[in-house]
């Protein structure tokens, strides 16, 4: 590298970054637009967290009702209530992640204490009749619909690639003056001497591992370490009205006001003890982004009781329209054995856009055996490929990204089972849930699904009740660090969530 070229690089000033940082590669990405696909799926998935009774029975309440959490699932369940009621549900959430990267296994865990549910039912009409409108209720409930907190540690020796290869790939075909506008993360790599143009080429790039193309092939064997911290949730304020017709047909509707809050930060570091002609020693890259948003959707449902012991439930959820605010930044630093230290960062950016989630349809059946026991089963259909991003005033065209979502995600089915046994004032409960595959068959995570196993109990004494539950939620997935021409570096990860829930409730006019 000539002194003249060193001088040129030192004189380059940081220009304002343009274009959406949405296409910057981040954790769990498999390509340029994968972040959008991940976000579309993340905010579309619903795991129906709620009261301890609801949780312990696997969330299988489409045909049951009589629980405040059902306002976010089948609002017809509000018509089942015979009196006014209030409940609150604190929850302890524990998640552990064990990842295997290039034969090395690492693990991490976090705890999260949160409010899973809180709400009230008010009896508006209560007619002493067996026909016609028996009762009409109004209900409000806040229900957590997805807890996205997670901490991940990955560390191993990489013998075949580096994240610098990704930045060199993304920089390909661009002049160095264009990098900051077109591929801002590759620009940081160029500023910190992790990549540079190949000898005799202005739009092709090499990395420190090949001495920028002067000493091919690349020499790897460096230590790779990534720390990932995810925080956030989606939750819904459900405003509902529901009624009872002749103790045969229960109906209801919900206006759902949803809120999302999510942040993702990862630190990717690589270091080597191998002497390299480029004198490279280590680098550190940090990427952070956060989303906040509010959405609105409608839900309608019905529960029909053809005979005394059988209930059939049906519900439809309209798409939720979110308006999302995004904040993002990234920075990079590098160290060389000759004492060289370089730092660079992109200006923080803020963006606004909209997301429309898929509609949902569900059906359920429940058997009630006098006052001794009940069992229930739910099936839910959702087509994740119909999620759509749209602009909110800046005129950005999302058609290409929506096309990628459509070809990457697919329709899926969710199954939930629940049972309850009554022993005088005490109740024993159990449940199971299966949340189906959302990625197309050609994706690395095409087999990703979620399984839940739950159990719990409760106590009721006149107008007070206390319920508790434990839910274990498990899945195995592939975490992709980066996808470069040299290698797609991914880790196999087992994720276990342990959810402990307690509900305190009070019935009025018992």
pLDDT in tens, 67-104: 999 999 999 999 999 899 999 999 999 999 999 999 99
CA-CA distance, 367 to 321, in Å (whole number)?
Answer: 35
pLDDT at 29 over 80: no
> What is the reported pLDDT for 510?
57
Q: How far apart are CA 184 and CA 22, in angstroms?
A: 11
* pLDDT for 33: 37
Q: Is the pLDDT of residue 10 over 60?
A: no
pLDDT of 128 = 85
The pLDDT > 70 percentage for the chain reads 93
What pLDDT is stored for residue 13 in this prediction? 30
pLDDT at residue 395 in the model: 86
- 48 contacts: CB under 8 Å, gap ≥ 6: 54, 59, 69, 72, 73, 143, 145
Burial of 125 (0-12, 13-18, 19+ CB in 10 A): exposed
The string of pLDDT tens digits covering residues 102-135 is: 999 999 999 999 999 999 999 999 998 889 999 9
CA distances in angstroms from 267 to 129, 146, 284, 332, 394, listed in the order given? 65, 25, 7, 10, 31
Q: How far apart, in whole angstroms, are the C-alpha atoms of residue 211 and residue 196? A: 9
Distance, CA of 53 to CA of 427 (rounded, Å): 10
**Domains present along the chain, CATH in parentheses:** 3-507 (2.40.160.60)
- Residue, of 175 and 35, whose pLDDT is higher: 175
For the chain, the maximum distance between any two Cα atoms, rounded to a whole number of angstroms, is 94
| Burial letters 162-190, b for 16+ CB under 10 A, else e | bbbbbbbbbbeebebeebbebbbbbbbbb
Mean pLDDT, residues 441-458? 95
| Statement: residue 359 has pLDDT above 50 | yes
Write the pLDDT tens digit of every residue in 376-405.
999 999 999 999 999 998 888 899 999 999
pLDDT category of residue 7 using cuts at 50, 70 and 90: very low
The answer to whether residues 483 and 460 touch, using CB atoms and an 8 Å cutoff, is no
Is the bond leading into 331 cis (omega within 30 degrees of zero)? Answer: no
Query: Which tokens belong to 472?
Result: 């274990």
C-alpha to C-alpha distance for 157 and 299, rounded to whole angstroms: 50
26 pLDDT exceeds 50?
Answer: no
Q: Calculate the average pLDDT of the chain.
A: 91
How far apart, in Å, are the Cα atoms of 260 and each of 232, 234, 350, 437, 476? 7, 4, 17, 23, 24
Cβ-Cβ contacts under 8 Å for 68 (sequence gap 6 or more):
50, 51, 85, 87, 117, 119, 120, 121, 139, 141, 143
State yes or no: pLDDT of 30 exceeds 50.
no
pLDDT band for 479, please (50, 70, 90 cuts): very high
Token couple for 65: 């009702």
460 is written with which tokens?
């009721």
**Residues in Cβ contact with 193 at an 8 Å cutoff, skipping those fewer than 6 apart:** 9, 208, 278, 334, 336, 340, 342
Q: Per-residue confidence at 462, pLDDT binned at 50, 70, 90?
A: confident
Q: Provide, rounded to the nearest whole percent, the portion of the chain with pLDDT above 90.
A: 87
Question: pLDDT (tens digit, 9 = 90+) per residue, 309-358?
Answer: 999 999 999 999 999 999 999 999 999 999 999 999 999 999 999 999 99
User: SS3 for 403?
Assistant: helix
The gap between the terminal CA atoms of the chain, to the nearest Å, is 84
Which tens digit of pLDDT belongs to each residue from 184-203? 999 999 999 999 999 989 99
User: In whole angstroms, what is the distance from residue 280 CA to residue 271 CA?
Assistant: 8
Q: Could you report the per-residue pLDDT of 163-178, keeping only the tens digit for each?
A: 999 999 999 999 999 9
- Go through 194-222 and write b for each residue having 16 or more CB atoms within 10 A of its CB, e for each that does not: bbbbbeeeeeebbbbbbbbbeeeebbbeb
From CA 263, how far away is CA 148, in angstroms rounded? Answer: 9
Q: What is the pLDDT of residue 371?
A: 87
C-alpha dist (Å) from residue 386 to 25, 100, 357: 23, 33, 7
């Amino acid at each position: 590298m000539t002194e003249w070229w060193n001088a040129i690089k030192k004189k380059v000033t940081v220009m304002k970054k343009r274009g959406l940082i949405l296409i910057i590669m981040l954790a769990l990405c498999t390509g340029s637009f994968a972040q959008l696909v991940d976000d579309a799926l993340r905010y579309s998935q619903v795991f129906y967290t709620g009261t301890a009774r609801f949780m312990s029975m696997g969330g299988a309440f489409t045909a049951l009702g009589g629980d405040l959490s059902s306002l976010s699932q089948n609002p017809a369940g509000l018509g089942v209530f015979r009196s006014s009621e209030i409940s609150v549900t604190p929850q302890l959430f524990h998640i552990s992640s064990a990842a295997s990267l290039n034969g090395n296994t690492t693990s991490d865990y976090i705890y999260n204490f949160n409010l899973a549910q809180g709400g009230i039912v008010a009896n508006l009409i209560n007619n002493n009749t067996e026909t016609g409108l028996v009762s009409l209720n109004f209900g409000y409930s806040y229900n957590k619909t997805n807890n996205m907190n997670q901490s991940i540690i990955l560390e191993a020796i990489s013998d075949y690639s580096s994240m610098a290869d990704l930045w060199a790939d993304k920089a390909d075909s661009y002049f160095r003056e264009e990098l900051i506008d077109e591929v801002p993360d590759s620009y940081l790599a160029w500023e910190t001497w992790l990549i540079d143009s190949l000898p005799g080429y202005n739009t092709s790039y090499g990395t420190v591992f090949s001495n920028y193309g002067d000493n091919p092939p690349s020499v790897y064997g460096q230590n790779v370490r990534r720390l990932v911290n995810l925080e956030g949730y989606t939750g819904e304020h459900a405003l509902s009205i529901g009624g009872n017709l002749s103790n045969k047909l229960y109906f209801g509707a919900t206006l759902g006001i949803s809120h999302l809050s999510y942040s993702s930060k990862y630190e990717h570091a690589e270091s080597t003890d191998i002497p390299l002609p480029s004198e490279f020693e280590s680098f550190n890259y940090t990427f952070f982004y956060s989303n906040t948003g509010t959405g609105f959707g409608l839900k309608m449902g019905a529960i029909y009781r053809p005979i005394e012991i059988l209930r059939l439930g049906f519900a439809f959820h309209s798409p939720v329209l979110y308006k999302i605010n995004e904040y993002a930044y990234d920075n990079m630093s590098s160290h060389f054995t000759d004492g060289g230290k370089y730092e660079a960062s992109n200006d923080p950016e803020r963006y606004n856009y909209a997301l429309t989630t898929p509609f949902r349809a569900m059906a359920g059946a429940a058997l009630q055996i006098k006052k001794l026991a009940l069992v229930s089963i739910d099936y839910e259909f959702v087509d994740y490929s119909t999620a759509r991003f749209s602009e909110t005033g800046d005129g950005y065209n999302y058609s290409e990204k929506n096309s990628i979502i459509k070809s990457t995600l697919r329709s899926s089915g969710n199954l939930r089972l629940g049972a309850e046994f009554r022993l005088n004032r005490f109740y024993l409960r159990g449940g199971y849930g299966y949340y189906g595959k959302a990625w197309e068959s050609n994706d690395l995570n095409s087999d990703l699904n979620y399984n839940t196993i739950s159990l719990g109990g409760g106590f009721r004494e006149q107008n007070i009740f206390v319920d508790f539950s434990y839910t274990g939620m498990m899945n195995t997935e592939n975490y992709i660090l980066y996808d470069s021409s040299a290698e797609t570096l991914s880790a196999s990860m087992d994720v276990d969530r342990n959810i402990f829930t307690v509900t305190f409730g009070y019935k009025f006019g018992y």
